[in-house]
Amino acid sequence: MRIGVLTGGGDAPGLNAAIRAVVRRALSLDFDVLGVRNGWAGLLGGGNFQRLDWRSVSGILHQGGTILGTSRTNPVKRQEDMEQVLANLKAFGIDGLVVIGGRDSLWVGAELQDRWGRVVGVPKTLDNTLVGTDYCIGHSSAVALVAEALDRLHTTASAHHRVMVVEVMGGDAGWVAIDGGLAGGADLIVVPEVPTDLESICNHVLARRAQGREFSIIVVAESARIADLSDEGIDMGKPDPFGRYKLDRRNIGERLAAEIEKRTGLETRFIVLGYLQRGGSPTAEDRLLATRLGVAAVDYLAEGRFGFVPCLNCGSVVPVPIREVVSHTRPADMALYELAKLFF
C-alpha cells in the first residue's frame, strides 16, 4: 500500500511529530509513504512529492513547523484543480491520503473523500475549534506560550503599575485566550463568545485599582467583538482562498489599550503575541497527541476506515466522521471562562 501525507493551513507546533508518527507506523506495516509538499498545492500541476523513510523523520519530534511545508491552497474553488488532484493521486499510485490540518484543510479533505473515498484526517489547529475532539495539535503549545508571556508581563506591569493588553490568536473562538489567560493569571479575558463593551472593561480596571490592585493584565482574542470599538474603516485586505481575513489587521489589542488609557487615565501598553504562538518546539502534550493521532490515522487507512478523523475524547482516541469535524466552529468552553472569572 502506498499512502500520502500532507500538512495544510497555518503551521503549528506538533506537525512534525504527527508526520513522524504517520511515517513510522506506515513503515512498520510495510507501506510506502509519499509526502505531499506545501499542502494541497503539492497535488496540483505535475505534483510535488517526496519519499519519506526512517531517515526523513529522524530527529524531528521536537521541531516546530513542518518538513513538508504548507499553504492555504483551496483546490475546491476550481473543478480543474480537483481534477488535477485526482489525476496526481492516480498517477503516483497513492492508495490513501492522510490530511493533517484545521477546518479548511480538512474540509477540502472531506470534499476529496466524497469524490475519491480514501481520505483520513488528523486535527490540527492552535485555535482548538474542531468538532469532536477535546484538543487539536498545536493548542497546548500556543497556550504554553501565552502563559509564559503573561508570567513575564506580570513583573513589568507590577513594577510600573500599568495596564497591559495582550492580543492572542483565536480566529473563530476564544480557546487560546481562555486557556492561556487562566493558566497565566490574566485579570480579564475578552473573547468573542462573551459580549462586552468598553465601559465594562474600563470599570473593571478601575475597580481593581480601587481595591489596591495597581496593575491589570487583559488578554483579548483577535476575533473579540467589543460593542463600541468599531471595525469601521479598517482595511482588512483580501481574503485568503477560503474567504478568511487576517484578523491582525483589526489591531484589536492596540485599539483597546488606547481606549482604556483615554477613558481611565491609567498608563496602558499592548503586546501582540502573533506568530510567536505558531513557532518553537511543541509541548510534551502536543508531541504525545500528535503521535497518537498520526498512528491512528494510518491504522484507519490500513483497516479501510476512510472518511474519519482520529479525535481525542475523554482520554481515548475515537473515529469521528470528517464531515462532522468540519461541520461548524466549536466555541470555547464557557465553564473554563466562568472558572477564570473567579480570579478577575
Identity (one letter) of the amino acid at 33?
Answer: V
Residue 325 grid cell: 469535524
Residue with cell 493521532: 293
Whether 127 is catalytic is yes
Distance CA 217, CA 301 (A): 47
Which one of 81, 104, 127, 179 is the catalytic residue? 127
Residue 228 grid cell: 463600541
Torsions phi, psi for 100 (to 5 deg):
-100, 110
Residue 88 grid cell: 496526481
For the chain, how big is the Rg over CA atoms in Å?
21
**Closest C-alpha to 219, from 146, 326, 134:** 146
CA quadruple 96, 99, 100, 104: dihedral, nearest 10: -170
Q: Mind telling me the catalytic residues? A: 127
